[in-house]
Chains A and B, each alone.
Chain A
Amino acid sequence: MGRDQHRHWGSTAILMENIIRREREKRGWTQAALAVRLGVSRQTVNAIETGKYDPSLPLAFRIARQFDHPIEGLFTPDDQ
């Protein structure tokens, strides 16, 4: 659903899948708590988790640091 919305605006970029929600829930963090840790809004965390938005490289690095994972361990291209 989120991906359809993404494409609705004409984006032809390869979309990413991620395991942010799983990693966050594993740690018992709420979306709001993760948002504060990352310095973004809760809506942004939700958009990333549901695949509506792919984060910028600096934000992806901050996410990776929070979960102590490499970026490629958290995000994978949709076509793989």
Chain B
Amino acid sequence: MSLGSPHSEAMTNETDIAEEARSKSAQRRRSWIRLVIGVVAYAAAMIAVRVWGHLGGTAPGRFLWAFLPLIPAAWLVINITLRARQLDEYQIKLVYRALVVGFTVAIFTAATLGMLGISGLYLPYAGWIVVFAGGVSWGVTNIVTGAVRQF
């Protein structure tokens, strides 16, 4: 790939570069497909738990149902980790910013809800409020910094 390459070698290099760019693009597409599969499977598992899990009942099996979404969640964690390993230093920097914001917002939301709980105000589905606050702030920061385009 040196600059002084003979013409034929330069042609081969250009072909290699185009091939590698295509392969990177395919790799990125495959990652996206796996992530979408994970998100859909997670949503399906949540719906299945709500419909058939009877979490509000008394059957001991309800605890197993509550853990069902962890299967697609594990798939998502594995695939996100694999994708993160493919990111370069600038992409990691962008993704990191959104994670910092999302994590901080989630922690302080949880702390605030905890304080409200101590003062006697119990909010139903408080865990979901934490998920929503962390997830939205993470997503919005990804959009603002342009990190969303890196995936």
Q: A9-B97, A68-B3 are in contact. Are A40 and B88 (CB under 8 A)?
A: yes
Given contacts A39-B88, A48-B90, A53-B93, 10 further A-B contacts (CB under 8 A): A9-B97, A33-B21, A37-B1, A37-B17, A41-B24, A41-B88, A41-B150, A43-B90, A43-B91, A55-B89
Q: A9-B97, A27-B3, A68-B3 are in contact. Are A44 and B17 (CB under 8 A)?
A: no
Q: Note all chain B residues with C-beta closer than 8 A to A80.
A: none
Contact code string A31-63 (vs B, CB < 8 Å = 1, else 0)? 011011101110110011000010110010000
Q: Note all chain A residues with C-beta closer than 8 A to B146.
A: 43
Q: A27-B3, A68-B3 are in contact. Are A40 and B90 (CB under 8 A)?
A: yes
Q: Note all chain B residues with C-beta closer than 8 A to A33.
A: 14, 17, 21
Is there contact, CB below 8 Å, between B21 and A44? Answer: no
Is there contact, CB below 8 Å, between B1 and A56? Answer: no
Contact code string B139-150 (vs A, CB < 8 Å = 1, else 0)? 000000010011
- B20 at the A/B interface (Cβ < 8 Å)? yes
What is the interface of chain B, defined by CB distance below 8 A to chain A? 1-3, 14, 17, 20-21, 24, 88-91, 93, 97, 146, 149-150
Is there contact, CB below 8 Å, between B91 and A44? Answer: yes
Q: Note all chain B residues with C-beta closer than 8 A to A40.
A: 88-90
**19 A-B contacts (beta carbon < 8 Å):** A9-B97, A32-B17, A33-B14, A36-B20, A36-B21, A36-B24, A37-B1, A39-B88, A40-B89, A41-B88, A41-B90, A43-B90, A43-B91, A43-B146, A43-B149, A44-B91, A47-B90, A55-B90, A59-B89
Chain A contact patch, size range: 20 to 34
Partner of B17, one of A36, A48, A68: A36
Partner of A44, one of B2, B14, B20, B90: B90
A51 CB to nearest chain B CB (Å) = 13
In the assembly, what is the distance between CA of A36 and CA of B3, in Å? 15
B29 CB to nearest chain A CB (Å) = 14
Q: Note all chain B residues with C-beta closer than 8 A to A37.
A: 1, 17
In the assembly, what is the distance between CA of A35 and CA of B28, in Å? 15
